[in-house]
Amino acid sequence: MEYRETELALTRVRIAELRERAEQLAERNRELRDAVQREGSRGDDVHRARERAEMAKSHAIQAQERAAMAYMRSAAAHEAAAERHELLAVCGFGNPEEHLRLARRHRELCTEDRKAGNSAGAFLTEV
C-alpha cells in the first residue's frame, strides 16, 4: 500500500513538471510566432526555403525515376516469364494449358507495369 502511495505521489509530481514544461513551451512558441510576425521573412529565410524546395523537387524526381525504372524492370521480368511459359507449352513440358494461362497472366502484368512505368516517367516532365 505504501509503495502505491509513493508511486502515486511521484506521478503527481511528474504531471506537475510536465504541465509546467508544456506551459513554458507554449510561451516560447508564442514568442517565436510574435517575432516572426513582427519581423516577417528575412532574405536568408526565403533563400533557405527556396534551396529546400529545390532539394525536395530533386528528390521527388529521383524517386520517380527509380519508380519508373523499377516498373520497367518488372515489366521485362514478366515478359521473360511469359516467353518461358510459352516455350514450355510449345515443347509440351508439364501442362501446356497451364503454361499458356500463366503466360497470358504475365503478359497482363507486363502491360500493367509498363503503363505504370510510363505514368511515372510522364510525371518527370511535369515537375
How high is the mean pLDDT in each 10-residue block of the chain (127 residues)? 76 83 87 72 76 89 89 94 97 96 96 88 56
Direct distance between the N- and C-terminal alpha carbons of the chain, in angstroms, rounded to an integer: 65
Residue 25: which H helix or E strand, with range?
helix 2-39
Query: pTM of the predicted model, to two decimals?
Result: 0.59
pLDDT in tens, 60-73: 888 888 888 999 99
Cα 34 from Cα 40, distance rounded (Å): 10
**H or E element in which residue 121 lies:** helix 96-126
Domain boundaries, the chain: 1-38, 58-127
CB-CB contact of 85 with 99 (8 Å) = yes
pLDDT digits (tens, 9 = 90+) for 40-58: 667 777 788 888 889 998 8
